Amino acid sequence: MDLKAYIEERRKEGKYVELEGEVDPHYEVARYLKRHDGGPTLLFNKVKGHSIPVVGNLVTKREDIVKLLRVKDLNEAYLKLLEACNSPSRLKLKSDAPFEEVRLKDLRDLPILTHYERDGGPYITTSVVIARDYDTGAFNASIHRMLMVDPTHLAIRVVPRHLHYIMTRWWEKGKDLPIAVVIGSHPAMFLAAASSPPLGVFEAEVANNLLNGKLEGCLLNNGIIVPRSSEIVIIGRILRDSYVEEGPFVDVTGTYDKVRRQPVVEVEAIYAKEEALYHALLPASREHRIFMSFYREALIWQRVKEVVPTLKAVRLTTGGCNWLHCVLSIRKVNEGDPKNAMLAAFAAHPSLKMVIVVDEDIDPDSPEDVEWALATRFQPDEDLVVISRIRGSSLDPSSDQERLLTSKMGIDATTPLNRPRDLFERAKIP
């Protein structure tokens, strides 16, 4: 189960385009990915100054995840991902791997892209970083953007989550953190690494569950396990107490994240398959947003369904960056259902800033439909919930980003149960 097998499936479905002309990794590849955002998988065979082709737009719609997980609908996809996080499948380990075929000289051999005009430099945006907990030996895989500092060093953005905890424990012992960085794997691995199961659950084993036990592992000399089918693997260390300025970088909101001092990765070796592919993800693209948001949608679906079993759909909306705004579609049974649903959604995904609850006759994928529900079924003095000064997302430029404080809003745009239903129905022509 590797990246090329997935791309072949996309080709057979007619969702794949190869570009034969030479393209520049400095902005030009990004322009193509932006132009075809939400469209087919793109393969760039000739990248200026590089022998490794670039591929992007692997997953651009929720339906793509439904298909790669071999399920019938979104609800089954949510359930399969959550169950895989709870029941990871151990990898079968082998001592060799196809990615050991070629050893690259340094980072300049990789077609690392520069995406936007104010970017701090060339960024690896598909870095699946794998590390081992110092105390327990448990592995962790997570996605981190990496800025190329020089041919053998990267700046890595590490937020206070699992990798940060593992890194801090190694540093407390006076040691650098050994890591492996995977670029190019089956999208199920990338989806698993974008999820947040509890610390101690290895996301590669989550991916193995998603792929029905068909993902093999390879044990590296530094003690790290990586998927054997990886296209490119960087071996290195996050240096203890070594920092550089990282950024600007365009995150999921489409705005520039601020510059911060972040840890440094020292690259020790880079390995690649003989005919390796470099997976590039355009920041703020549909691919970025779908991978980043899908696990959160699944968590919201699970948590809301516990308090409102008649939940029909969850959508982290495109206009809300697939991160900050959510629409919940329910069949309302009690007047309190919408507010219970809002609170459950906020608890499931703390970065949420706005939740709109609509009836099942409203299409949650249609901004026009949702706005119509607001216009005809919502009264601000009765149906608006505002929560002030609460933990929010560091990605929201309007929030207090230093203290991670924001305000949140819940909107009940459902039909009142104590009034005639026909007053709120849309007229139909028989």
Residue 362 contacts residue 332 (beta carbons within 8 Å): no
For residue 248, say if its preceding peptide bond is cis, omega within 30 degrees of 0: yes
Question: Parallel, antiparallel, or unpaired: how do β-strands 16-19 and 41-44 relate?
Answer: parallel
- List the alpha helices (DSSP H) in 182-235: 187-193, 203-210
Contacts of 188 (CB under 8 A, 6+ apart): 1, 68, 69, 207, 210, 211, 215
How far is residue 391's CA from residue 403's CA, in Å, rounded to a whole number?
8
Residue pointed to by tokens 């005919």: 275
β-bridge pairing 232-246 and 177-183:
antiparallel
Q: 257 catalytic, yes or no?
A: no
CA-closest candidate to residue 85, choices 186, 205, 194? 205
Ramachandran angles phi, psi of 102, nearest 5°: -130, 135
- Catalytic-labelled residue, pool 64, 176, 251, 359: 251
Distance CA 263, CA 153 (A): 10
Q: What is the CA radius of gyration of the chain?
A: 22
Place of tokens 């993902």: 215
Dump strand ranges (E) for 360-424.
384-391, 405-413
Q: Where are the alpha helices (DSSP H) in 149-245?
A: 162-172, 187-193, 203-210
3-state DSSP assignment of residue 33: helix
Catalytic residues: 251
